[in-house]
Structure 1
Amino acid sequence: MLIRTKKFQISPKELRGIIAVDYYKRMKLTLIIFSVLTVVNIIISIIQKEFSWWLLYCLGFIAYILSVPLWLRLQGRTSELNFQSRYCEMDEDFFTIFFEDGSISKLRYEHFVKVIKKSEYYFLYITKVQFHYLPVAAFESEKDMHRFDLFLEGKQLIKLW
């Protein structure tokens, strides 16, 4: 199996946006629950005509959850190399990244902690917080992407079902 991707590049702003959208999707249920609790607290406060401190706690928690992506720093999570133009080659033993400046990063699949696949991209984690970004659009064909998915599933890095 040899799979080669097209060249791709992402800016820090685009990557920050992708991470923020993913975070908000994961926190959606929590935001809904706390929004409902806040509305219930407002209604109870109006009916009883007295201030509830729980309302302040709920509003503070909602503000905290909504503001977390604004504090996001990509330093430490991903290398500056990840914002250069690059392409990848995958074979049975190595995941290799060829950067525009001539640098090469060659990783064994055992070095990946986990792989997260979304509809438009892969995050290939090498630690709990550091990852390599790989867009789905970079694959030459649907067949290459499917082969890569099956290979990752075989290495138990991703679950397809």
Structure 2
Amino acid sequence: MYIKTKSFQITPKELGALLTVDYYRRMKFFFILFAILLVINIVVSVLQNRFDWWLIYSVGLGAYFVSLPLFFQPRKRNSTLNFQNRYCEIDENFFAMFYEDGSIVKLNYSHFMQVIKKADYYFLYMTKAQFHYLPVAAFESEKDIHRFDLFLQSKQLIKIW
């Protein structure tokens, strides 16, 4: 298997938007549950005509979790290489990225702990916070995407189903 992608690039703003959407998608259940419990407690407090300070604390905590993506600053957390124009070469042994400035990053698949695939991109995680971004649009064909998915599944890095 050998796959070569087209050149691609992501800006810090685009990466920040992707991370924000991913955060809200993962936290959706928590936000819904928290909002329902908060509304129930506010209604009970109003009906009983009393004021609970812990409601203010919980509203503050909820505001913190909702505003957390505002603190994502991809430019500070990622190398400047991640925002350069690049392309990838993928084979059975290595995942290689060739950057516009001539830099090359060649990784063995054992360096990846997990790969998350969304509709438009892959996040190839090396640690919980460090990842490489690979857009699906960078692949030449659907066949290459499918081969890459099956290869990642064989390495137990991704679950397709």
Alignment TM-score > 0.5, same fold: yes
Q: Which residue of 2 aligns with 1:87?
A: 87
* Match status 1:36 vs 2:36: yes
**What stretches of structure 2 of length at least 5 have no aligned partner?**
none
Specify the code of the residue in structure 2 equivalent to 1:50: R
Runs of 4+ in 1 over 4 A off after TM superposition: none
**What stretches of structure 1 of length at least 5 have no aligned partner?**
none
Could you say if the C-alpha distance between residues 77 and 149 of structure 1 is closer, same or farther in structure 2, counting changes exceeding 3 Å? farther
Q: Which residue of 1 aligns with 2:78?
A: 78
Aligned residues: 161
TM-score, structure 1 normalization: 0.95
Alpha-carbon deviations, 1:83-106, whole Å to 9, x = none? 000000101111010101111111
> Which whole-Å CA distance do the structure 1 matches of 2:16 and 2:114 have between them?
20
Q: Which residue of 2 aligns with 1:22?
A: 22
Specify the code of the residue in structure 2 equivalent to 1:56: I
Alpha-carbon deviations, 1:36-86, whole Å to 9, x = none? 111112211211111122321321121011111111132574321010000
Counterparts in 2 of 1:9-158, with a 5 A limit?
A: 9-74=9-74, 77-158=77-158
Alpha-carbon deviations, 1:7-26, whole Å to 9, x = none? 11000010011001000011
Q: 1:125: Cα distance to partner? A: 1.0
| Residue identity (%) | 63
TM-score, structure 2 normalization: 0.95
SS class of match (1:9): coil
